[in-house]
Amino acid sequence: MINYRLHEKITNIKWVNLFSPWERQRAYLAVLVWFVLIYPFCCFCQLAPFVLFFSGQWILLVLYVVWYFYDRKSPTRGGYRDNWFRRLRLHKWFADCFPITLHKTVELDDQQNYLFGYHPHGILGVGAWSCFGFDGCNVSKIFKGIRFSICTLPGNFTAMFRREILLSIGLIESSKESIEYVLNSNEKGRAVVIVIGGAAEALEAHPGKHTLTLATRKGFVREAIKTGAHLVPVYAFGENDIYKQIDNPEGSLLRKLQEWGKKKTGISLPLIYGRGYFQMALGLLPINASVNVVVGAPIPVVKNSNPSKTAVDEIHQMYMDQLSDLFNEHKERFGISKETRLIFQ
């Protein structure tokens, strides 16, 4: 009986089709490149200075220090202008694997600057990366004349080599100085993308759940008013579905440990699992769930270098209302029940 059950479980596992069409194979290859090569390399970069130092490669370390000093302001000065890395065909293959699709609801004026709010954060924010970090979803053709820059934590620019990879994608620091530098520049058609929920919202990233950490997040609204950038709500249907997370309800021991870690380090540590390398049951690769990134209509903002709390609160409420409308308008189209509501906390 035990052998029969074991055999039944093994035969019920959905295995990777090694003889699938080339389009599927190259998409899977792109995911492997990111999760087996690039992402681990970016994590290893934190240790690179120690490796170079203790292996006697001091000349390389000194040369990098000189370069770092010369290039130290790039993360707060709009990143690199020629984002060659973000245009690689590899990123289109990556987006095809889920697939990730970008949907436009209105045209954007390339003579206006914008601040995009991306929701939800999910575990990795793959929709934000593919649509606005890379050109994996043809954003350069869908929103012609708009140059996108995604914000990330300043600490991500401290590791050698990793900072160059992030800057080559067009990432910038999530500091107010960095955001204002981009949106106050003479160049028009700039768009800063902020994944607003951050680490706190990652702990709410469960499949089928639509809970946003937004009710008290108003700094992005203040930055929009100070720069006159129009606010654009974005919702990614399916972002929370690419990974499963161990249950961590409010008040549980696991959640308390995660909240403690986030408070100490600024990074949340959701316990996640997805699919494997050769089977679809269990592993660390993301699940092939469709992610549909819908860009809503911009909210006009009048520039004011010193906005009042009342003005910030008013536009923040307007933003949440418009985001809810965007969610309700498109949810059934992407397989979400009519009764489901967007929750702000």
| pLDDT value of position 110 | 95
**Which residues, in sequence order, are CB contacts of 294 under 8 Å at separation 6+?**
103, 105, 234, 235, 236, 237, 326, 330
pLDDT digits (tens, 9 = 90+) for 166-224: 898 889 999 999 999 999 988 999 999 999 998 899 999 999 999 999 999 999 999 99
**pLDDT at position 266 over 80:** no
Q: Does residue 249 sit within a domain?
A: yes
**How large a percentage of the chain has pLDDT more than 90?**
67
Q: How many CB atoms lie within 10 A of CB 266?
A: 11
Tell me the pLDDT of the chain averaged across its residues. Answer: 90
Helices (H), the chain: 2-12, 22-32, 39-44, 48-54, 58-70, 89-97, 126-128, 139-142, 162-169, 176-183, 198-202, 219-227, 253-265, 309-330
**Residue 338 resides in a domain:** no
Q: How many domains would you assign to the chain?
A: 1
pLDDT at residue 11, rounded to an integer: 52
The predicted structure's pLDDT at residue 8: 45
270 inside domain:
yes
Band (pLDDT 50/70/90 cuts) for residue 2 is very low
Kindly state whether residue 60 falls inside one of the protein's structural domains.
Answer: yes
The pLDDT tens digits for 91-150 are 999 999 999 999 999 999 999 999 999 999 999 999 999 999 999 999 999 999 999 999
Residue 203 lies in a domain: yes
* pTM, rounded to two decimals: 0.92
Give the domain range for residue 48: 2-331
Region 293-297: mean pLDDT is: 98
Quick check: is 278 in a domain?
yes
336 within a domain of the structure (yes/no): no
Of the pLDDT bands very low, low, confident and very high (cuts 50, 70, 90), residue 12 is: low
The predicted-structure confidence for 190-199, as pLDDT tens digits, reads as follows 999 999 998 8
